[in-house]
Amino acid sequence: MSHYEGMRSPLSKARGLGSAKSGVEHFWIQRVTAVALVPLSLWFAFSLAQLGRADFFAVRGWVHAPSVAVTLVLFIAAATYHSALGVQVVIEDYVAGEAMKLACLLLNKFVHFIVAAAGIFAVLKIALT
Amino acid sequence: MSNETTPAPTRQIDRPMSPFMLGPYYRFQLTSVLSFAHRITGIGLSIGTLLIATWLVMLAAGAQSYNQVVPHLHAWYGEAILFAYSWTLMYHLCNGIRHLFWDAGKGFDIPTAYKSGYAVVIVSLALTAAIWGLAISHGALR
């Protein structure tokens, strides 16, 4: 420590000690998807409510509409991403043992990607046929 | 040998341990219960998203496949799951907004945390009631 340490500005002390440019993706994307999911979840819940006791053709017709299909894809993408990040934190908090934790983290990512791919493919199949 | 010479580590220490703390020793507060609920509803919604994807896959597979799902949707357990999903989603959404305010450094003081906590419970229940009012007016639960 040099004798003039106290004269350095907070910025110059912080410089070179690492940036917040990376390493915060988990925290940040969790928040970005959270904000996106506020309108998307409200839309989804109230749309399903409006479908009421709709039969196969009515539900399929609803998904077939371009605006609905696009919003559904956005909802599935944001929900599965947010869910994968959230479950990851729960695994990191509660699963003991490195091997078991790694296995759970891998399984978490795989299952969420499968759910996202299957859900989005189903919507697109209905929308494009 | 007298009891006084017994070394400390061999003595039975009768101390309540973590899980047994809940209830008799740890007093629950609204704020901590809502915090546990945020995580539990989050896990519930992960399962809900899996069910939604399954529902969409069955819908895309055609009328025959989808009509195998319909009886489950209208069964008591299907309606119970839908009801649970709707409140779970609204709760996690409202409490998530509370978390976003905390992330912005706002509302951390105890009185505000309690007020926002009660607001989350009331608004999530009101939104759930609105969803089911709309659903019933469109023929649900019939």
- pLDDT tens sequence across A14-25: 776 765 566 788
Q: Which residue of A has its CA nearest to B103?
A: A31
C-alpha–C-alpha distance, residues B108 and B113, integer Å: 6
Q: Closest to A76 (Cβ–Cβ): which among B53, B59, B135? A: B53
Residue contact B59–A51, C-beta within 8 A: no
Name the residue of chain A whose CA is nearest to B102's CA.
Answer: A31
A118: tokens are 């299957």
Does the residue A104 lie in any domain? yes
Span A55-60, average pLDDT: 96
For residue A47, what is the domain's CATH number?
A: 1.20.1300.10
Q: Does some domain include residue A8?
A: no
B53, B67, B96: residue with CB nearest A34: B96
* Confidence bin at A2 (pLDDT 50/70/90): low
pLDDT in tens, B39-65: 999 999 999 999 999 999 999 999 999
**Total Cβ atoms within 10 A of residue B56:** 22
CA distance A104 to A111: 10
Average pLDDT, stretch B25-47?
93
Nearest CA of chain A to the CA of B53: how many Å? 4
Is the sign of the CA dihedral B107, B110, B115, B118 positive or negative? positive
Determine the average pLDDT of the residues in B16-37.
81
B70-106 confidence digits (pLDDT tens): 999 999 999 999 999 999 999 999 999 999 999 999 9
* Interface size, chain A vs chain B, as Cβ–Cβ contacts under 8 Å: 106
Averaged pLDDT of chain B: 90
Query: A49 and B138: CB-CB below 8 Å?
Result: yes
pLDDT of residue B1: 43
> What's the rounded Cα separation, in Å, for the pair A61 and A58?
5
Contact A57/A66 with Cβ under 8 angstroms? Answer: no
Instruction: Please report whether residue A107 resides in a domain.
Output: yes
Percentage, residues of chain A above pLDDT 90: 79
Give, in order, the Cα–Cα distances in Å from A55 to each of B16, B17, B62, B68, B70: 56, 54, 12, 12, 8
- Counting every residue written for chain B, the total comes to 142
Q: How confident is the model at residue A72 (pLDDT cuts 50, 70, 90)?
A: very high
Give pLDDT, residue B23: 75
Residues of A in contact with B127 (CB under 8 A): 42, 45
Is pLDDT above 70 for A44?
yes
pTM of the model: 0.84
**CB neighbours (10 Å) of residue B31?**
12
pLDDT average, residue stretch A101-119: 98
Predicted local confidence at residue B8, as pLDDT = 54
* pLDDT (0 to 100) of residue B2: 45
Question: If you measure CA to CA, which chain A residue comes closest to B136?
Answer: A52
Closest residue in chain A to residue B137, using alpha carbons only? A52
Tell me if A4 is assigned to some domain. no
**pLDDT bucket at A13, cuts 50 / 70 / 90:** confident
∠ Cα B89 A51 B77 (to 5°) = 60
As for how many domains chain A has, the answer is 1
Picking from A24, A28, A40, the residue whose alpha carbon sits closest to that of residue A78 is A40
Q: Which of B98, B137, B79 is nearest to A46 (CA)?
A: B137
- Full domain range(s) for residue A46: 25-127
Backbone angles phi, psi at B27, to 5 degrees: -85, 125
Q: Which residues make beta-bridge pairs with B26?
A: B22
Pick the CATH number of B30-137 from 1.20.1300.10, 1.10.10.60, 3.30.70.340, 3.40.50.2300: 1.20.1300.10
C-beta neighbour count of A20 within 10 angstroms: 8
Average pLDDT over residues A85-108: 96
Nearest alpha-carbon partner for A112 in B101, B7, B47, B59? B47
CB contacts, 8 Å: B137 with chain A? 52
